[in-house]
Amino acid sequence: MFNRAEARIDLERISANIKHLKQLSSTPVMAVVKADAYGHGLVPVAKAALEAGATSLGVALLEEAITLRQAGITAPILAWLVPPGSDYTLAVDNNIELAASSIKALEEIGAVKSEFRPKVHLEVDTGMTRGGFLAEWGKIDGHHVANLDIVGIFSHFARADEPGEEQNQLQRNRFKEMVATVESFGYTNIVRHLSNSAATLKDKDSRFDMVRVGIAMYGLSPDVKTLGDSASLGLQPAMQLRAKLHLVKSVPANTPVGYGAAAYTTAETKLGIVAMGYADGIPRIAQGAGVFVDGKRAPIIGRVSMDQFVVDLGADSGASTGDWVIVFGDGATGEYTADDWGAASGSINYEIVTRIGPRVPRIYAHHVN
């Protein structure tokens, strides 16, 4: 059994988060499980979310949707990053709903020959200036959608994690205008969805017919600075990342550590070599994070390497070679969190959990101290 490192995923916490978000929003929930369920494991998380009350699943890629179908999941699935030239027939044959943000996509999806009629959500750009119809919006006419079932319309907030920002209101108003245009064509029974996790938590006016929850269902705050941490939002972080101490060694003061001798010990201390590195998703740039072991935090010293990084355990540490350390968890016992690692890397908690690589097995179990 390989046990160098592990990501422990508590599916009960994911279930609790889904139930909390559903109750808070009083709106059907789409569980967003793209990017291997934000690093938590696509199929197990999708099943747990549906069992907890999510009514549909959202993914970015067609291959993610196909994987879910192959796992026996029959719930509605929306895939929203399936560009022209993709195998739309495969999607339609597997009853996968598709997002379209260009006339070319509408034309190619409409040309599919299948026993099923293609189901499409129109993606509209209301101010994110990323995906979604913008300049082409006024050019859509009846023949572009003649062979399609338009079942939804959606957009994405750019600043929902900043609740007071005027852009949120502008985007909401623009979305309503674009919905009205679609309804004027006779599509009056479509699912309107705009809210991401932040809007689901803080913006009741943007929930419409369905909310799309991503980071919040994994128990993480969309933005700790503007919205508060997980606990304050009623969320339970689902991932705990652990690794083994490959080696513990005592070193004198002024000992250089790691590539480039980028750091030196300031006093006699014990160093721990943690058996994870940037090949596993530990950010090479990280400074100011570390691990939790022997009841206290041990910060990174030196540069993160491909397969390992070094932490300063302190001269009085009781940690030993072979001990488990917590790289990040929910912070309840003092350990670093995904938020801490994001800040230490000039990034966000989304990236920290999503980047944990395939060399790290996902263990579906409760967290351990």
Nearest of 315, 306, 367, 304 to residue 341 by alpha carbon: 304
Catalytic residue among 204, 225, 249, 259: 259
pLDDT at position 2 over 90: no
Mean pLDDT of 358-368: 98
Which one-letter amino acid corresponds to residue 157? F
Residue 164 Cα distances to 175, 212, 257, 303, angstroms: 18, 20, 45, 39
Residue 100 contacts residue 106 (beta carbons within 8 Å):
yes
3-state secondary structure at position 309? strand
pLDDT at residue 1, as a whole number: 60
pLDDT at residue 3, as a whole number: 84
Q: What number does CATH give the domain 239-364? A: 2.40.37.10
Q: Domain map of the chain by residue range? A: 11-218, 239-364
User: pLDDT of 102-145, one tens digit each?
Assistant: 999 999 999 999 999 999 999 999 999 999 999 999 999 999 99
pLDDT at residue 63, as a whole number: 98
* pTM of the full structure: 0.97
User: pLDDT of 244-289, one tens digit each?
Assistant: 999 999 999 999 999 999 999 999 999 999 999 999 999 999 999 9
Radius of gyration of the chain (CA): 23
Mean pLDDT of 214-226: 98
Does the annotation mark 350 as catalytic? Answer: no
| H helical segments located in the chain | 11-25, 34-38, 42-51, 62-70, 88-93, 103-110, 142-145, 166-184, 197-202, 224-227, 338-344, 349-354
Q: Quickly tell me which residue has 């993480």 as its tokens.
A: 220
The percentage of the chain sitting over the pLDDT mark of 90, rounded to a whole number, equals 98
Catalytic residue among 22, 34, 47, 244: 34
Looking at every residue in the chain, the average pLDDT score rounds to 97
C-alpha 334/C-alpha 292 separation (Å) is 7
Does the annotation mark 225 as catalytic? Answer: no
pLDDT at residue 295, as a whole number: 96
User: pLDDT of 144-191, one tens digit each?
Assistant: 999 999 999 999 999 999 999 999 999 999 999 999 999 999 999 999
Q: Are strands 97-100 and 77-79 parallel, antiparallel or unpaired?
A: parallel
Residue 12 contacts residue 213 (beta carbons within 8 Å):
no
Domain 11-218 sits in CATH 1.25.40.10: no
Nearest of 343, 221, 351 to residue 288 by alpha carbon: 343
The percentage of the chain sitting over the pLDDT mark of 70, rounded to a whole number, equals 99
pLDDT at residue 59, as a whole number: 99
User: pLDDT of 257-269, one tens digit each?
Assistant: 999 999 999 999 9
